[in-house]
Amino acid sequence: GNSVTQMEGPVTLSEEAFLTINCTYTATGYPSLFWYVQYPGEGLQLLLKATKADDKGSNKGFEATYRKETTSFHLEKGSVQVSDSAVYFCALRSYGGSQGNLIFGKGTKLSVKP
């Protein structure tokens, strides 16, 4: 079946450090891929998405490239800020039949220290 695996947290970085959160997936067909962010006590916000191979999603300095050959969608940011502290979820959405639901990884908690 379809699944998402992302690196275990927590991840602790100093401000301005480089961030990578790994995400790999298993899916039939050609899924769409998403990164969502969850700040403490809040729901999920879409961070970025990509819908086909080699697409790069980007937002707020975060980037992720849809790599079909390695079934990966790693999240990167060149210089993190304290305000980036949150839990990050990688998700896929496969298509077929009447299903369009999201399948999430377990989440990676990021803490950025000043």
Instruction: Return the residues of window 30-69 that contact other proteins according to CB under 8 A.
Output: 32, 34, 36, 42-46, 49, 51
Answer yes or no whether residue 18 interacts with other proteins by CB under 8 A.
no
Answer yes or no whether residue 91 interacts with other proteins by CB under 8 A.
yes
- We find the least distance from the C-beta atom of residue 90 to other proteins, in angstroms, to be 9
The answer to whether 61 and 112 are in contact (CB under 8 A) is no
- Among the candidate windows 16-24, 61-69, 72-80, 105-113, which touches other proteins by CB under 8 A? 105-113
Answer yes or no whether residue 103 interacts with other proteins by CB under 8 A.
yes
The answer to whether 114 and 16 are in contact (CB under 8 A) is no
Residue type, 34: F
CB-based burial, 89-113: b 16+ in 10 Å, e otherwise: bbbbbbeeeeeeeebbbebbebebe
Nearer to other proteins, 61 or 100 (CB): 100
Interface residues with other proteins (CB under 8 A) are 4, 32, 34, 36, 42-46, 49, 51, 89, 91, 95, 98-107
